[in-house]
Amino acid sequence: MLLLSILMIGGLYVWLMRYTRHGESVTVPDFYGLRYKKAQALAKKHKMQLVIIDTLNYDPDLPAYAIREQMPRAGDAVKTGRKIYVKINAPHYRKVKIPKLRGVTVRQAKSTLQAMGLKVGKITTKPYFAEVVLEVLHNGDTLRRGDMLPQYSVVDLVVGSGKAPFEADTLE
């Protein structure tokens, strides 16, 4: 019985060593900055598989669809056939929807736009009875609520001077 137990345990040990390929490993290459197609070819060469798990916000310093993060990290030792999970660079900045800004204060409009990832450019004044936003412009075009712009775009504001007399027909 003891001999049979020793043989079974020894056989199981040998089978596990072969099945798990104990002692065999390959080094994970650095995929950072490579476009997905090139990274996929490199992974295949190293007998690994690439799996995209997420698309990260656009980074202008990297090409579109370039690898930005990988797990396991470059230099780690893994078994052949291992899946390498990657996050890629988006092809462009995400678009943001312009909120209702007409009639709000300049300070409120600035903070809203900056929170959305837009930049405030020129602020010009126009005769109006209140110091509020009258128009939002991008490249000279008037923007309306719901219009979409790429994040980090520059928008200009046309603001009332607060020095014109109040007239009932100026209200909408």
Ranges of each domain in the chain: 24-89, 95-166
User: How far apart (Å, rounded) are the C-alpha atoms in residues 17 and 27?
Assistant: 20
Nearest to 161, CA basis, from 152, 169, 170, 153: 170
Q: Compute mean pLDDT per 10 residues along the chain, 172 residues long, and list them.
A: 92 84 85 95 94 93 95 92 94 94 95 95 93 94 95 95 70 50
pLDDT tens digit sequence for 35-71: 999 999 999 999 999 999 999 999 999 999 999 999 9
DSSP symbols for 152-168? T-EEEEEEE-S-SPP-G
CATH topology of domain 95-166: Trypsin Inhibitor V; Chain A (3.30.10)
24-89 is a CATH 3.30.10.20 domain: yes
Name the pairing type of β-strands 154-160 and 119-126: parallel
Neighbours of 133 (CB within 10 A): 22
